Structure 1
């Protein structure tokens, strides 16, 4: 399986799948955005076999660009694994402290974040496009996890999936107006253009939210893969409109 592996040890596994033109649907993992669900299931079965994590252990959301957060437990196993209509609905961040439950989020140009605190252990997957960012989903999620003692910010690592990066993410001023409502200085993450447009650093905004909640900069791992430019490895809605999605996921062993 073509993917970026972030962590693979005796405690936890975490990774993001990549585009692969040699397999069905270019290695699309998302049932809610696909041409042929059967081909997506072929990819899911392939991944499950490589991981030795049967689909009956998977629990997946159907994201709607919300700031909603959900704790996944044993009762959620199989949700969204075989049928998109059984997904955990209207949720864009999922976390768990339980073993052998595979959780994840789907992204094309949006940011996918894999959080792990091996000292607990606990894992969390966050989906944040600009719509999630202006709702501060990463800030809200990390605050909740810290308050509930699910993670310790000093021992938590954050890995970023490929996403549309600063030089490629052009938005209108209506988006900038929303970004400016965030509770920290966002100007370093905006590059204004003369045509009433601007480029924004969505990855950087989410990194700042992690830093604001006490994560150590040395434990934050940004992605250098720009989905709009890396056509061989990355899905991009802005490029293709009809596109598959990466899968940023993990499980506790």
Structure 2
């Protein structure tokens, strides 16, 4: 699987490139201990906002996508999604308090608007459909998964004819994986209430704990909506184990975050 992922995406300095063609660019930033705040780009979880802005400006220059064209959410573990248009450019780019508030997913059909979500152990999901074109970025920790944010957002975009199951692709950021995501039985009970069969994605332990495959559940949601398996691109990076390249709240508590983002060219 590791080899397969390498074929599906290329790694450049400080980020994983998910897609880069004439229509769309999409990537996830990585931790780098040599950079300010270890390459954290999240203003809402940082020690030094100036260091975060250095990282953002560096990324903007690399992409030739000025910060004035970024539009970012301040996530709150909801299942809310916002439609981003040119009128939203600049939101959250320089000041977290100007972010698109109380949403955990953003989408756009317009060119030259960079959208994205921030994650440490949670999932960052990038959905693209070049035929529209449309891109959507989703943040789904276990709370978002119990709220079925991925299914809700994809269903809405399909209903609006903005993405099509057979032509869209879904890319996953590094996240805490099945072997590392230990939860209590109260989380298990919530997972069992969602609309898909989560049985294969729960591994019970003898200490009233269980391991959850958060990525696997979200992949299953995509499949149930008709996205072909070959169009779904999981990540093998476990944020709890990859200490040098991944941010992890469970490891560090005070930590930066990955940025899963994309834009239509």
Q: TM-score, normalised by structure 2?
A: 0.95
**Match for residue 6 of structure 2?**
none
Q: Structure 1, residues 119-162: CA drift from partner, whole Å, max 9, x if none?
A: 11110000000000000000000000000011011100000000
Q: 1:147 aligns with which of 159, 182, 190?
A: 159
TM-score, length of structure 1 as denominator length: 0.99
Question: SS in structure 2 opposite 1:140?
Answer: helix
Per the alignment, in what secondary structure is the counterpart of residue 137 of structure 2?
Answer: strand
Match of 2:228 among 205, 213, 216: 216
Q: Distance in 2 between matches of 1:127 and 1:143?
A: 16
Determine if the alignment matches structure 1 residue 77 to structure 2 residue 51: no
Written as runs of structure 1 = structure 2, the 5 A alignment for 1:43-192 is 43-192=55-204
Moved beyond 6 Å, runs of 4+: none
Equivalent runs, 1:16-27 vs 2, <5 Å: 16-27=28-39
1:183 Cα deviation (Å)? 1.0
1:252 is matched with 264
Q: Equivalents in 2 of 1:155, 1:232: separation in Å?
A: 35
Q: Distance in 2 between matches of 1:10 and 1:164?
A: 32
**Which residue is 2:18 aligned to?**
6
Q: Structure 2 CA distance, aligned partners of 1:184 and 1:19?
A: 33
Unmatched segments (≥5 aa) in structure 1: none
Q: Secondary structure at the match of 1:153?
A: coil
Deviations 1:155-189 (A, max 9, x none): 00000000000000000000000001111211000
Question: Deviation string for 1:101-122 (max 9, x for gaps)?
Answer: 0000000000000111011111
Paired residue for 1:29? 41
SS in 2 for 1:155: coil
C-alpha distance in 1, partners of 2:26/2:197?
31
Structure 2: gaps of 5 or more residues: 1-12
For 1:243 and 1:249, locate their aligned partners in 2 and report how far apart those are by CA, in whole Å. Answer: 19
Give the drift of 1:79.
0.2
Alignment correspondent of 1:198: 210
Give me the whole-angstrom Cα distance separating, in 1, the residues matched to 2:192 and 2:112: 40
CA RMSD in angstroms comes to 0.5
